[in-house]
Chain A
């Protein structure tokens, strides 16, 4: 099956620093990647959708200058949380699918803790 990896799996950082999370598709071309955020005991909330080579489309209420998304290749997308604050602490999950696919495949997630 299609495999998606994320790195790092967890990160602790100080308030005000920036954190980059990588999402890679290992055995398929990820023409579209999605970034989600999940708070404890809540469902996945879509943050943004990115198509390879294009600017990401952000959901309402998600600050594009704070959550920078780059999808420069068909196998890699990055999410950078800039000037992180404790309220950004969450579980960040990416998913990916190729053109024409109905199903998306998820990475294992990255747990971010901002002190």
Chain B
């Protein structure tokens, strides 16, 4: 069956460290993968999109990698700040629908 799994339900790290979140998928062959941020009681906000032919993409303190052999994407936040605390969702498109992982709740402690 098709699955998108974000292995850590919650991640708690010290301010200034790099946060690394994992997204694994099975029985999909996505042309691209996306990462979103969701704050409590709010809709998700788009962060980054990475295509199957791209190994890495960066935006400010964010970095995403995409390994289609491992069927995995890693999402990194460098020099993390308390304001980065939120739930991060990976998503991929299948049959014209965007399917979301369960999310990782990231907490950055001062």
Q: Are B103 and A43 in contact (CB under 8 A)?
A: yes
Counting chain B residues whose Cβ lies within 8 A of the other chain, the interface size class is: 20 to 34
- Partner pick for A49 among B44, B89, B96, B101, CB 8 A cutoff: B96
A108 and B44 alpha carbons, distance in the complex (Å): 8
- Partner pick for B34 among A32, A34, A103, A109, CB 8 A cutoff: A103
Q: Are A46 and B103 in contact (CB under 8 A)?
A: no
Q: A43-B89, A43-B101, A44-B100 are in contact. Are A102 and B41 (CB under 8 A)?
A: no
Main secondary structure of the interface of A (DSSP, over half): strand
Counting chain A residues whose Cβ lies within 8 A of the other chain, the interface size class is: 20 to 34
Q: Are B97 and A49 in contact (CB under 8 A)?
A: yes
A-B contact count (CB 8 A): 47
A: residues with CB less than 8 A from B are 4, 6, 32, 34, 42-44, 46, 49, 91, 93, 95, 102-109, 111
Q: Which 9 A-B pairs give the minimum distances between C-beta atoms? A: A106-B43, A43-B102, A109-B43, A93-B43, A44-B100, A106-B44, A43-B100, A108-B43, A103-B46
B62 sits at the interface (CB 8 A): no
Q: Are A102 and B43 in contact (CB under 8 A)?
A: no
Q: Are A102 and B44 in contact (CB under 8 A)?
A: no
Q: A102-B49, A103-B34, A103-B49 are in contact. Are A91 and B97 (CB under 8 A)?
A: no
Q: Are A34 and B98 in contact (CB under 8 A)?
A: yes
Q: Are B99 and A46 in contact (CB under 8 A)?
A: yes
B93 sits at the interface (CB 8 A): yes
Q: A106-B44, A107-B43, A111-B41 are in contact. Are A44 and B89 (CB under 8 A)?
A: yes
A109 and B41 alpha carbons, distance in the complex (Å): 7
B42 sits at the interface (CB 8 A): yes
Residue of A nearest to B48 (CB): A103
Q: A109-B41, A111-B41 are in contact. Are A104 and B98 (CB under 8 A)?
A: yes
- Partner pick for B46 among A6, A49, A105, CB 8 A cutoff: A105
The minimal Cβ–Cβ distance linking B17 to chain A, given in whole angstroms, is 25
Among B89, B98, B103, chain A packs the most CB atoms within 10 A around the CB of B98
Q: Are A42 and B97 in contact (CB under 8 A)?
A: no
Q: List residues of chain A with CB within 8 A of the CB of B46.
A: 103-106
